[in-house]
Amino acid sequence: MRNSLLSILLSTFLFTCSNSEDLETGEIDVLYTAQKWQLVRMSGSFENSETTGENMEWQEFYVFNPDGSFLKRRDTAGAVFEATGTFVLMEYGNDEADYLELTYASGENLIGSCNGDRTEVLVFRSSLALSNTWQACDGPGLDYVLVKD
């Protein structure tokens, strides 16, 4: 059902916009090429617990593909873990923010979620910044930036 919804949404954007590969949903660009989002900052629930760059506990990135699939890759002290699944662009109630709801098909140990299920939610802070929502339930705050080639 979600794949069908994503296909309909993407098709609608394609047919209603003219000759542009970058389309906007609110203030968020929807690109029809793969997007890589790199973890740049981790924070905890304690004051002054922010780490960046090589000082972070792990290195991580997402790749979001135009077909609605994603790859998440985490490197922790030389051990590499990967997860895959699908995603949809979401809005919740009266909240004006745009969200990505990820559903994991593999790599469940990488899910950062308050729900305890196979889903993870990320929120767009801007067209170039994305954050997890795991910190709402005492998980780490994770901030990502769009990597442009």
Structural domain boundaries in the chain: 33-147
- From residue 112, alpha-carbon distances to 9, 62, 88, 92 in Å are 26, 13, 17, 19
- Residue 96 pLDDT: 87
- Summarised one tens digit per residue, pLDDT across range 61-79 is 999 999 999 999 999 999 9
Residue 120 has what pLDDT? 97
pLDDT at site 149: 73
pLDDT at 16: 34
**What is the third-level CATH fold of 33-147?**
Lipocalin (2.40.128)
- Reported as a single tens digit per residue, the pLDDT across 115-128 is 889 999 999 999 99
Instruction: Name residues of the chain where pLDDT drops below 70.
Output: 1-32
Q: What pTM was estimated for this model as a whole?
A: 0.77
| pLDDT at residue 21, as a whole number | 37
Residue 135 is predicted with a pLDDT of 87
- The Cα–Cα gap between 107 and 72 comes to 9
Q: What is the pLDDT of residue 30?
A: 53
